[in-house]
Structure 1
């Protein structure tokens, strides 16, 4: 095998030598040949001159071919250098989550409302400062509470506002509803940012502490909602096809006494509430965004209508319950069908909220038990 390769290489070299000899002989003959006469343009050409140009061209081509790998490597290195030279934009740090501090503050407010003189130790898991309460324990209770505002004052330090529906007990043990009260709590968080802390490591130890007792604050401003998009009042007449579609749909949706599909658009994917919470559903009023409340004829297929429907439902115990539903209807084959139960009633384009007029506090709120003092 090696001998065969050597013989092949030898033949290749012999062919190359013969080719270069032929070119040399052609060059010698061209040199001895008489020079060509100049053409009309004034240029003189000769065989030797043309052969020299061809030889230079061939040498240049072979040089370019031979340098191809080197040029490719240089281009690759240059491209690599450009990529390495471009600064990779740093990913934006994830904002700290308020979920942990908010939940901690809500638990703290509930414990604070129930604590009193002699039970200050119940607050130790939340606040490690010295506390002396003057109110009797268990005189106030948060029947329900929720966080309505949170703000990171500085990294890992949160201001949390908790709304609590408070019930108080007087000296005779009689319960009195004080209404919703608002408490602001300062909470420091340790641990990863996903827990409200400052550490970039998800394995960091998580913990919370309040920096003081809660501060009772004023309620947020009451607002009057913006104007809704339902300008036509359809009433509750069953002779109106759009009202009749809403009645049939909501009866099936709330009571389960009929099939829901017969009132919905194909592919709407709506399901009745199960188990059915009501035994009866009575539509008492319908408003929509049509141009005329007197329009009774169902328009062309694909026409969309938005409704706000008032419903008086009767629960399983026989008690009436008032409900509102925002529906989107679509026409098909001469009838209205419910395409969706909307997430919220539709607003007009300029439907921004405005400040509500000031209202006097509820009678029982004026008799609210003073907040317990702390020293």
Structure 2
């Protein structure tokens, strides 16, 4: 903006007053600063500012709702972890079924009420109570028929009282029990919360069933039978190790590889251990030469352990041996025998009774003693 000096009156001084800007000068000023300020422009800017403020005020609730919705929903791209489904446990129904079978075997006429904690149905017993007893029970199979409803098979070692009052072993018997559960999945039920209490009820009396099929296991991976040769270095190591492990004779570190830490059975349950047979995967039963350092051999030893009363007990141990310095050392006491490759187990169906077999070669069943 330029100023012009006007002539002052005789009693006035010179003052600088703004002169009206020509269009050309305004253009020049605009070119120099890049913007132009006018009264009309300021008035429009003020109106725009007021409109913008009212827009912000009006949109405030909408922005608040959008923020609330955004905070309640998972962030886009963030992984959402699905809840883990808890499988129902068979431990509760299995243990409860064992108690039920124990009570059932001991109950009789006049003691039917002893079954009421397990079965609420009507029960009439005619046998003398206390004639049978379960010396031990174990749940050998549990199947969930439907959610919260289980079929449990219980094996019971049964003792039976004779007419003279003596107890005799009645053998291993199997009973199937139907158990309904109300409670969390950890107790066999269907509820999701583990804080809820669990309840069990039988829907029927136990049913005595046949023994489950037995199993023929896989062949073992010890194809070389070395016998009990006391001159065999591997047998010597195994014998010394097991005598230290079971009978407390010497330290284990004399027979183990460096870095192997094993603890003997304490207190020692036996006074001595004798090797009955050793089988391994060496492939050569006659060779007793210890190979060069680092060779590995898996062995299975059958032993006879004697206690301080003179009684003997057979035991089987599986070990991994490593060669070092011209002798065998125990690298590990294995938890299970090595299985032979390409060998699988097979179910063995129990043979039927001779009366049902229809075979003339079947031996007659012994007559019951009177």
> In 2, are the aligned partners of 1:178 and 1:365 still within 8 Å (CA)?
no
The 1-side partners of 2:277 and 2:287 are apart by 16
Partner of 1:120: 112
- The answer to whether the aligner puts 1:93 opposite 2:85 as a matched pair is yes
Q: Which runs of 5+ in 2 are unaligned?
A: 1-28, 36-69, 354-363
User: Residue by residue, what CA displacement relative to the aligned partner does 1:170-194 show, whole Å, maximum 9, x if unpaired?
Assistant: 2222322121111111111111111
- The answer to whether the aligner puts 1:229 opposite 2:221 as a matched pair is yes
The 1-side partners of 2:365 and 2:102 are apart by 21
Partner of 2:185: 193
State how 1:188-267 maps to structure 2 within 5 Å: 188-267=180-259
Correspondent of 1:164 among 156, 160, 168 = 156
Residue correspondences, number: 298
Partner of 1:65: none
- The answer to whether the aligner puts 1:327 opposite 2:327 as a matched pair is no
The 2-side partners of 1:86 and 1:116 are apart by 65
- The answer to whether the aligner puts 1:307 opposite 2:302 as a matched pair is no
Q: Which runs of 5+ in 1 are unaligned?
A: 1-17, 25-77, 369-375
State how 1:1-375 maps to structure 2 within 5 Å: 21=32, 83-84=75-76, 88=80, 90-356=82-348, 358=350
Residues 93 and 355 of structure 1, relative CA distance in 2, 3 Å threshold: closer
The 2-side partners of 1:233 and 1:196 are apart by 48
The SS at the match of 2:76 is helix
The 1-side partners of 2:32 and 2:143 are apart by 91
Residues 359 and 154 of structure 1, relative CA distance in 2, 3 Å threshold: closer
> In 2, are the aligned partners of 1:313 and 1:323 still within 8 Å (CA)?
yes
Deviation, 1:198, is 1.2
Deviation, 1:134, is 1.5
> In 2, are the aligned partners of 1:331 and 1:337 still within 8 Å (CA)?
yes
The 1-side partners of 2:111 and 2:368 are apart by 25
Residues 230 and 107 of structure 1, relative CA distance in 2, 3 Å threshold: same
Partner of 2:64: none
Deviation, 1:126, is 1.1
> In 2, are the aligned partners of 1:222 and 1:355 still within 8 Å (CA)?
yes
Residues 366 and 119 of structure 1, relative CA distance in 2, 3 Å threshold: farther
> In 1, are the aligned partners of 2:222 and 2:299 still within 8 Å (CA)?
yes
Supply the RMSD in Å over aligned alpha carbons. 3.0
Deviation, 1:326, is 1.0
The 2-side partners of 1:273 and 1:168 are apart by 37
Residues 216 and 81 of structure 1, relative CA distance in 2, 3 Å threshold: closer
> In 2, are the aligned partners of 1:168 and 1:178 still within 8 Å (CA)?
yes
The 2-side partners of 1:367 and 1:229 are apart by 44
The 1-side partners of 2:96 and 2:226 are apart by 49
The 2-side partners of 1:148 and 1:156 are apart by 19
Deviation, 1:358, is 4.7
User: Which protein, 1 or 2, shows the higher relative CO under an 8 Å CA cutoff with sep ≥ 6?
Assistant: 1
Normalized per residue, which structure has more helix? 1
The SS at the match of 2:95 is helix
Deviation, 1:205, is 2.2
Q: Which has the larger radius of gyration?
A: 2
> In 2, are the aligned partners of 1:227 and 1:350 still within 8 Å (CA)?
no
Residues 309 and 83 of structure 1, relative CA distance in 2, 3 Å threshold: same
